[in-house]
Chain A
């Protein structure tokens, strides 16, 4: 199931036992991973080595050992050529407040080598694609966080790169802004044909957007697999039902009925809203949904909700969550 080798003929990013050691810390530890075209998520907790990897991929920081290629170019020797074809959106604020988005993005386009006329035309196009209209003539200082993130994205796309590296693009956004940004990231590949490497510390967020997810922790590769593989092993179904006169405790009735049919049912995770009224079971596939529907219907109960519980990235890493320890081990096992 694990494909640490090229999964299509074209490879966008390939690293081979890539290591980066600083005097006190090891930021990357023999990382070997291949990334193909599409949207790839790079997940890891803070300090997992995500930003270090991006720096190396842009040819800005030499690796201690190992090698890496971006778009078939060696990062150690072809840094400038890579940076001409790659866009980068940093995690932190990087916009001067006293110029307009248009002026700023035009300037950045020229820094990427676009002639003045092309720079202006591409800027207008790109700002429109990221969803900035009239406000693009106003100074950036007055923008909302969401608009600033769009400008940052626009400057990464303005020179029509073949690959963009997005460092935590949803940072600081509210849920709506987050969804819009994720939709935009998806479109960068589906509509614009530009491959994306996007980092996040939220696995759930990337599951919705990415074709492929790479998980790193402590500079080591924990896992690299397509998103469907990922969700299959981690999908948990949460069910909530109503009570009726016949079954005063509907939740218990469903649990017993599912038990009778050989399903392993967990009580809802502690601390979540509606704890005690939510049942968790591991979905085996389509038939699990049918089974739940039938069981609930047979008991004559109302199904309040049945949803996939997306796992937070911390569940892949931490030992504290004993309830899912087995599951975690399974997940980690796939990465090695």
Chain B
């Protein structure tokens, strides 16, 4: 029975400062909402490698730069050539850069959720005041915010550049706003899909491959089918095929309602009726991802 107040450092520890004994904590305990916010900010920082090793900062930072550089070049060109408008619409930017976005989701969604599952850290969270819903919401919000930063930052570069090039203010502001709404939707959708896939494949490396597969293979399949449909001049089916991959889903939504020009073959944009289906499916998918994550984490409790 060690009754003396000595720290368990029996020998060879000259660096030890005076032992001041155990101090109790009487300060505030900020509870669930604070813990959820802390988890959110820790996850968001982690998505850019902040607070993690130097090695894990490389990829997200690199992808962020890769996202922004083309925007900067476009702005430089627009300013230099005194162009009347930007070479690329705000809404088109994310569609063109989709490979970079997919790569970012594939690298960061697994690190956000799979690590906790793989190293069984999840039970430690749930032995604290936060509950399943808090954990899922914090992680979802953090991933979506990280994606929003990634996709909205280049739009901001374009917007600021456009204003510097003295392009039409009202026109640019409208385009920028439409682009921001579009990437916000994209961020939510991609974050949800990425997290769900990562949460069911906790094994190292596996999650990355699975996310890439879901995001890019579906796009490959959909655009191939759309090209075939166009070749057979059945343009009516092009819009419906577009429902089956995340990026074409976003493309459809913004072509129908956010004034974007469609990237579908032949520039076929969904009609308003089809557009409603696109919006409903997008929102439904986001909700389904949230539901699936909740179900997944209810199981892993302790």
Contacts and interface: CB of A to CB of B under 8 A. Distances in A.
Interface of A: 51, 54-55, 58, 60-61, 80-81, 83-84, 86-88, 90, 92-99, 103, 107-108, 110-115, 118, 122, 125, 128-131, 133-134, 139, 155, 159-160, 180, 183-184, 186-187, 190-193
Nearest to B41: A110
A169 to B, nearest CB: 14
Given A107-B38, A133-B16, 11 more contacts: A51-B302, A60-B301, A84-B31, A84-B129, A111-B39, A113-B128, A114-B25, A125-B23, A190-B3, A191-B3, A191-B21
B114 to A, nearest CB: 11
A99 B128 CA distance: 20
Interface stretch (B49-57, B80-88, B230-238): B49-57
A93 B119 contact: yes
Interface in B1-22: 1-3, 5, 7-9, 13, 15-16, 21-22
Contacts of B52: 98-99
Given A80-B129, A83-B128, A113 B24 contact: no
Interface in B113-128: 115-116, 119-121, 123-128
A98 to B, nearest CB: 6
A113 B3 CA distance: 31
Contact of B2 (A54, A115, A187): A187
B123 A111 contact: no
Contacts of B127: 58, 60, 83, 86-88, 90
Contacts of B123: 88, 90, 94
A97 B119 CA distance: 8
A114 B2 CA distance: 29
A193 B25 CA distance: 12
Nearest to A103: B51
Contacts of A183: 2, 8
Given A94-B121, A94-B123, A107-B42, A61 B30 contact: no
Interface string B123-149: 111111111000000000000000000
B34 interface: yes
B32 interface: yes
A84 B56 CA distance: 32
A112 B23 CA distance: 17
B35 interface: yes
A122 to B, nearest CB: 6
Contacts of A155: 124
B124 A88 contact: yes
Nearest to B27: A118
Nearest to A51: B302
Contacts of B116: 96
Contacts of A110: 34-35, 38, 42
B2 A112 contact: no
Interface residues of B, number: 46
Given A113-B35, A114-B27, A191-B21, A129 B115 contact: no
B267 interface: no
Contacts of A118: 25, 27
A128 B128 contact: no
A94 B119 contact: yes
A175 to B, nearest CB: 15
B2 A186 contact: yes
B28 interface: yes
A111 to B, nearest CB: 5
A60 B302 contact: yes
A253 to B, nearest CB: 38
B129 A186 contact: no
Contacts of B1: 186, 190
Nearest to B55: A98
A90 B302 contact: yes
Nearest to B36: A111
A111 B53 CA distance: 21
A88 B124 CA distance: 7
B38 A111 contact: yes
A94 B120 contact: yes
Contacts of A186: 1-2
Given A60-B126, A94-B124, A112-B129, A131 B8 contact: yes
A87 B128 CA distance: 8
A156 to B, nearest CB: 8
B119 to A, nearest CB: 5
B174 to A, nearest CB: 41
A112 B8 contact: no
Contacts of B121: 94-96
26 contacts: A54-B302, A58-B127, A60-B126, A61-B301, A61-B302, A81-B129, A90-B127, A94-B124, A96-B115, A107-B38, A111-B124, A111-B130, A112-B29, A112-B128, A113-B28, A113-B29, A113-B35, A114-B29, A118-B25, A129-B7, A130-B8, A139-B53, A160-B24, A160-B25, A180-B8, A191-B3
A103 B51 CA distance: 8
A114 B9 contact: no
A110 B35 CA distance: 6
B29 A84 contact: yes
A122 B25 contact: yes
A55 B3 CA distance: 32
Nearest to A150: B8
Contacts of B9: 131, 133
